[in-house]
Amino acid sequence: MKKAFVFTSESVTEGHPDKLCDQISDAFVDHILSRDPHARVVTECAVATSILFIAARFDTKVPIDFPSVAREVVGQVGYTDSQFNAKTCSILTSLREMAPDELSRFDEQNLSDEEIGRVVARNQVTVFGYACTQTPAFMPLPIWLAHKLARRLTSVRLQKLLPHLAPDGWTQVGVEYQDRTPSRIQSLTLIASTRGKECTLDGLQRDLMEAVVEPAFADEPLRPDRRTRIFINPDGLFQGGGPSMHSGLTGRKNAIDTYGEYSRHSGAALSGKDPLRIDRSGAYAARHAAKNVVAAGLAKECEVLLSYSIGLAEPVSIQVETFGTGTIPDDEITERLEHFFDFRPAAILRQFNLRYLPAVVKGGFYRKLAAYGHVGRMDIGLPWELTDKAQLLKSD
């Protein structure tokens, strides 16, 4: 196992075309589940210059105006310019209403253990959850810092501290590791899109250092030093950005949604699907398990693998990898997870209340996850981020 290395992770702002598509897709999920929690929905979006395409399959008892929901999200993200505008962009739809599925219309809160076992996985997937001690959020430091910079980039735009910024932006942070522990910031990159012609490259670079980079690192134990390589719009000004410059697609930023490639992740998209889909809810359950292992002090790093097959409720495989940091053997940690955690689809729905959160969280729930990560969030009270079973794992 390599001890010394440099690892980089990237994030993007909510105005990046891929993230715009994720937010639109999850806005559909919120809109439907908030009115019909037992509905089934799978949606994907694609954007390009002046065009938004929506593909959706759904089984719901409530009507939904897909174009109106999409336009609302586009406007809220900040696309009001002529090149891509919430009011004037062309919207194409491919909508298919699925046959009514009574098997999905159960109340998981009132199911017996035997009934939970009858709710099987409807798709096949291998999902991963990861946690470590590098940050207070139990996340790898590179993706933690990349998200922090991306959120700050959006914040200064919305607060009009830098009103010449446009919604689209990228960040990247490289961290040097010694003995698998972060030791210094090796590099960081910010690329911000701008609007208007009054902005100069020198002025933008100075503004982003003062308003974004320095505040983002103010409370971090590791900060850029004299040797840190800092790149701010290294290719020059990026006018406009967004779908008018590069296309977007739902589910294309899985690494940004999870662990920044520091750990493995599923190839399945997280956004745009109801939580009865095990490729979404299973990823949350795996993160919950891994985080509780680390919080219990059983390892400094933990990756949990869950494999599901169609027609079965229980995962066909549960594996734990602690990368040599475990205080007990990985097999024993696996046994404890199997004893204290229920990874069956209906059990995950019940534990995290996944089908009812869109109705109780103001402004929607799943759309909030579509930018800046589905895991490791300290700005949202996510049920899979709780360390409620750490003491059980510790005491065995």
Q: Where are the domains of the chain?
A: 116-134+254-266+275-355+374-391, 140-240
Which pLDDT band holds residue 193 (cuts at 50, 70, 90)? very high
pLDDT in tens, 299-308: 999 999 999 9
CATH number of 116-134+254-266+275-355+374-391, picked from 3.40.140.10, 3.90.100.10, 3.30.300.10, 1.20.120.430 = 3.30.300.10
**pLDDT at residue 1, as a whole number:** 55
**pLDDT at residue 396, as a whole number:** 64
**pLDDT at residue 349, as a whole number:** 97
pLDDT in tens, 4-29: 899 999 999 999 999 999 999 999 99
Mean pLDDT of 136-145: 98
Provide the CATH topology of domain 140-240. GMP Synthetase; Chain A, domain 3 (3.30.300)
Mean pLDDT of 94-109: 89
More confident residue, 104 or 59: 59
Residue 61 has pLDDT above 90, yes or no: no
Which pLDDT band holds residue 119 (cuts at 50, 70, 90)? very high
Fold equal for 116-134+254-266+275-355+374-391 and 140-240:
yes
CB 352 within 8 A of CB 284: yes
Tell me the pTM: 0.96
3-state secondary structure 322-388: CCCCCCCCHHHHHHHHHHHCCCCHHHHHHHHCCCCHHHHCCCCCHHHHCCCCCCCCCCCCCHHHCCC
Task: Identify which of 374, 371, 372, 339 has the alpha carbon closest to the alpha carbon of residue 354.
Answer: 374
Which pLDDT band holds residue 80 (cuts at 50, 70, 90)? confident
